[in-house]
């Protein structure tokens, strides 16, 4: 009987114009949003390919070790088509440079307007929380009280079945209808992705796709329960419309705005304490001085080009100068790098402490289901704050292993690090090769001599530890989303219980 009721409910929904309008609007928006996300994903993939190509090219063209920058580049995740998360908040590239702290990610080949930072939050999660919830409320706000107003409820209640069955009919009918409305385009989009990006469909993506779908179904159930409850609590359809719209406005607009206001005033004593320590370390780092014996500005150079602190360097000069540069690196590793590591550690601790409330917005004011879905989707899709922190940690791990390799293999403290033309030739050797520096009157002469008389230093890119992107694993995400699952299931059970109590006492006349 329930099955018949549910089919009957779904058919009657399809007969109403408002449902048809809502359905058409939702499907149109789904198509538009999906196309926009697809386009954005393709752009990001193109940027990623360019980023990787340029990085590999730079590595292969490195003339000495200081030019090596095995960047950590994050590949766009296919699931980001459905949920944006932090995709555009943070850059996808981390430069792994010698002696520089790794604090944030950056952009390389991505389009970036220097004067205006914006990225609309248009994704499928936004569509679900903003539009699908409205759709559900609009079809359910008068499902019971309109039948009461029309007088059909009295007639239906004369049939030989319990009140609960009627309630279930409404609830499951609406839930099944909306689930199909969402699942159909969702499934079709999956087919589209298989056709377009079949090679990128991984186990991680399938895990995210299925778990996300389950979360959305739970969300639909919650909103359906709310819609039916509104219909029971208010006697007039006009009033229930106002209440439904108020609740929708509250969940979608007012609650997030209020959360942003409250969020700024939540206690952050731990973050403040860490920040004070971070300020001290940063100050020490910026005011770090080298001893006079290593003041490279006071030394004679034939060539000294540098882009960074001591990265992308080419040096050539007398033996004493070359020795000073080697000692400079040694001094940097021993005295400067510990400050860098400390700064990184404190920066991460501060960032975590400062942002600890960011993904707990659903605990604010009665577990807003929109926020629960949004925060959970970020974890499911691997685009949460924790994933960004992990990306930075992984890049640091690459940098540290790179430095360890340099120390172990010896090139970090040798001429090979900053070699210009030949690591084994020092300026003192030049007269032996027939060069009289006093006779040189132009740089071109010097270059010609260096090219003909001295062998090029053939830089061989060493085997380095490279960044490996982590895949989403069910065993990893499940413990993180279990609290959200419990919240949603508790909300559903609570709402169902409340619905039963209210409908049992509902005056059907």
Partner 1 sequence: MFKSLFYKDLMLLIKDFKFQVFFIILMILFILSGIASANQVKKQQKEYHEEINSEMKYAQNNSGRMMYLIANQGIKYYHTPGISDMVLETKGFPTALGTNILHFNPYAYKRTAEGYSFSLNWLFILGLIGSLMVLIFSFDSLSEEKINGMLKLQTVSGLSRSQIVFSKFLSILTLYLLAIIPAGTVSLLLFSGMTGLFSFLFLVKTVLFILLSIPLISFFILIGIWISLSRHHMSNIVIALSFWLIFIIIIPQLASIVGKKISPIASHKEMNQRIQDAASKVHEEYYKKYTFDFGGNGTLEKGIRSKGFDAADAARAKQAGLNREIYFKQIETIEKISFLSPYSIFKHITEIIFDKNFYRMKKDIDHLQILQQAIKDEILEEDKKDPASMHLCYAYAEGDKYAVMNRGITPFSDKPYPHPEKLINTDFQEESLLDKLQQISLWLFAMIMIDILLLGTINMIFRKYDIR
Query: Which residues make up the interface to partner 1 (CB under 8 A)?
Result: 16-18, 20-22, 25, 29, 36, 47, 50, 54, 89, 107-122, 130-131, 134, 138, 238-239, 241-243, 245-246, 249, 253-254, 256-258, 260-261, 264-265, 297-298, 441-444
CB of 386 to partner 1, least distance (A): 20
CB of 434 to partner 1, least distance (A): 21
203, two tokens: 């186990």
As to burial, measured by CB atoms within 10 angstroms (0-12 exposed, 13-18 middle, 19+ buried), residue 364 is middle
Whether residue 343 contacts residue 285, with contact meaning beta carbons closer than 8 Å, is answered with yes
Partner residues linked to 305 by β-bridges: 314
CB of 39 to partner 1, least distance (A): 8
Q: In this complex, which beta carbon is closest to partner 1, that of residue 127 or of residue 274?
A: 127
373, two tokens: 């879905």
CB of 314 to partner 1, least distance (A): 14
CB of 118 to partner 1, least distance (A): 4
158, two tokens: 């004369």
Q: In this complex, which beta carbon is closest to partner 1, that of residue 249 or of residue 390?
A: 249
CA distance 359 to 352: 11
From residue 353, alpha-carbon distances to 85, 88, 385 in Å are 20, 22, 12
CA distance 119 to 88: 7
Going by C-alpha positions, the residue among 323, 339, 335, 345 that lies closest to residue 291 is 335
Partner residues linked to 93 by β-bridges: 73, 106
**DSSP assignment, residue 198?**
G
CB of 91 to partner 1, least distance (A): 9
Q: In this complex, which beta carbon is closest to partner 1, that of residue 307 or of residue 335?
A: 307
CB of 73 to partner 1, least distance (A): 13
Going by C-alpha positions, the residue among 359, 361, 354, 301 that lies closest to residue 325 is 301
**DSSP assignment, residue 336?**
I
User: In the chain, what is the straight-line distance between the N-terminal and C-terminal CA atoms, in Å?
Assistant: 24
Q: In this complex, which beta carbon is closest to partner 1, that of residue 32 or of residue 194?
A: 32
- For residue 219, what are the contacts with CB-CB under 8 A and spacing of at least 6? 128, 129, 133, 369, 372, 373, 488
CB of 242 to partner 1, least distance (A): 5
CB of 126 to partner 1, least distance (A): 9
Q: In this complex, which beta carbon is closest to partner 1, that of residue 203 or of residue 298?
A: 298
If one counts every other C-beta atom within 10 angstroms of the C-beta of residue 350, the result is 21
Q: In this complex, which beta carbon is closest to partner 1, that of residue 443 or of residue 497?
A: 443
Whether residue 26 contacts residue 132, with contact meaning beta carbons closer than 8 Å, is answered with yes
Plot region of 99 (φ>0 → left; ψ -120 to 50 → alpha; else → beta): left
- For residue 421, what are the contacts with CB-CB under 8 A and spacing of at least 6? 316, 450, 451, 454, 456, 457
Q: In this complex, which beta carbon is closest to partner 1, that of residue 303 or of residue 414?
A: 303
Q: In this complex, which beta carbon is closest to partner 1, that of residue 117 or of residue 458?
A: 117
Q: In this complex, which beta carbon is closest to partner 1, that of residue 298 or of residue 473?
A: 298
Whether residue 405 contacts residue 462, with contact meaning beta carbons closer than 8 Å, is answered with yes
CB of 436 to partner 1, least distance (A): 16
Partner residues linked to 314 by β-bridges: 305
CB of 148 to partner 1, least distance (A): 16
- For residue 428, what are the contacts with CB-CB under 8 A and spacing of at least 6? 318, 319
Q: In this complex, which beta carbon is closest to partner 1, that of residue 307 or of residue 319?
A: 307
196, two tokens: 């377009």
Q: In this complex, which beta carbon is closest to partner 1, that of residue 12 or of residue 121?
A: 121
Q: In this complex, which beta carbon is closest to partner 1, that of residue 442 or of residue 463?
A: 442
Strands 72-73 and 93-94, how do they pair?
A: antiparallel
Q: In this complex, which beta carbon is closest to partner 1, that of residue 115 or of residue 159?
A: 115
Partner residues linked to 304 by β-bridges: 315
CB of 467 to partner 1, least distance (A): 19
CA distance 190 to 187: 5
Q: Max Cα separation, the chain?
A: 114
CB of 251 to partner 1, least distance (A): 13
Q: Considering Cα of 403, then 409, then 413, then 418, what sign does the dihedral take?
A: negative
Phi–psi pair at 315, nearest 5 degrees? -135, 140
């Amino acid at each position: 009987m329930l099955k018949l009721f549910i089919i009957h409910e779904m058919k009657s929904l399809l007969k109403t114009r408002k449902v048809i309008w809502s359905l058409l609007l939702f499907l149109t928006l789904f198509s538009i949003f999906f196309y926009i996300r697809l386009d954005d994903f393709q752009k990001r993939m193109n940027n990623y390919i360019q980023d990787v190509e340029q990085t590999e090219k730079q590595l292969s063209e490195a003339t000495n070790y200081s030019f090596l920058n095995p960047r950590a580049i994050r590949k766009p995740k296919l699931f980001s088509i459905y949920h944006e998360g932090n995709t555009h908040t943070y850059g996808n590239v981390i430069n792994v440079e010698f002696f520089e702290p790794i604090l944030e990610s950056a952009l390389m080949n991505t389009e970036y307007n220097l004067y205006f930072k914006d990225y609309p939050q248009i994704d499928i999660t936004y569509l679900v929380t903003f539009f699908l919830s409205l759709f559900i409320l609009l079809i359910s706000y008068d499902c019971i009280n309109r039948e009461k107003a029309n007088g059909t409820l009295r007639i239906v209640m004369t049939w030989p079945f319990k009140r609960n069955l009627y309630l279930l009919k409404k609830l499951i009918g609406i839930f099944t209808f909306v689930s199909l409305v969402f699942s159909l385009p969702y499934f079709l989009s999956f087919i589209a992705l298989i056709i377009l990006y079949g090679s990128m469909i991984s186990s991680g993506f399938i895990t995210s796709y299925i778990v996300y779908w389950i979360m959305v179904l739970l969300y639909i159930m919650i909103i359906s329960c709310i819609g039916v409850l509104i219909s029971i609590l208010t006697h007039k359809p006009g009033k229930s419309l106002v209440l439904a719209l108020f609740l929708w406005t509250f969940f979608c607009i007012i609650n997030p705005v209020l959360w942003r206001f409250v969020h700024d005033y939540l206690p952050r004593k731990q973050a403040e304490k860490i920040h004070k320590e971070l300020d001290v370390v940063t100050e020490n780092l910026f005011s770090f001085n080298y001893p006079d014996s290593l003041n490279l500005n006071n030394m004679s150079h034939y060539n000294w080009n540098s882009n960074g602190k001591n990265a992308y360097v080419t040096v050539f000069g007398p033996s004493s100068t070359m020795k000073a540069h080697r000692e400079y690196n040694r001094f940097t590793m021993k005295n400067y790098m510990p400050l860098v590591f400390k700064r990184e550690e404190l920066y991460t601790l501060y960032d975590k402490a400062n942002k600890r409330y960011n993904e707990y917005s659903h605990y604010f004011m009665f577990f807003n289901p929109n926020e629960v879905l949004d925060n959970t989707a970020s974890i499911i899709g691997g685009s949460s704050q924790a994933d960004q922190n992990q990306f930075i940690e992984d890049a640091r791990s690459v940098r540290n292993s790179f430095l360890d390799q340099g120390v172990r293999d010896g090139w970090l403290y040798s001429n090979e690090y900053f070699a210009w033309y030949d690591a084994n030739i020092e300026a003192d050797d030049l007269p032996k090769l027939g060069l009289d520096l006093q006779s040189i009157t132009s740089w071109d002469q010097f270059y010609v001599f260096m090219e003909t008389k001295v062998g090029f230093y053939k830089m061989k890119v060493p085997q380095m530890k490279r960044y490996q992107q982590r895949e989403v694993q069910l065993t990893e995400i499940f413990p993180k989303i279990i609290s959200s699952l419990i919240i949603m299931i508790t909300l559903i059970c609570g709402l169902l219980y409340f619905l039963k109590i209210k409908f049992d006492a509902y005056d059907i006349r």
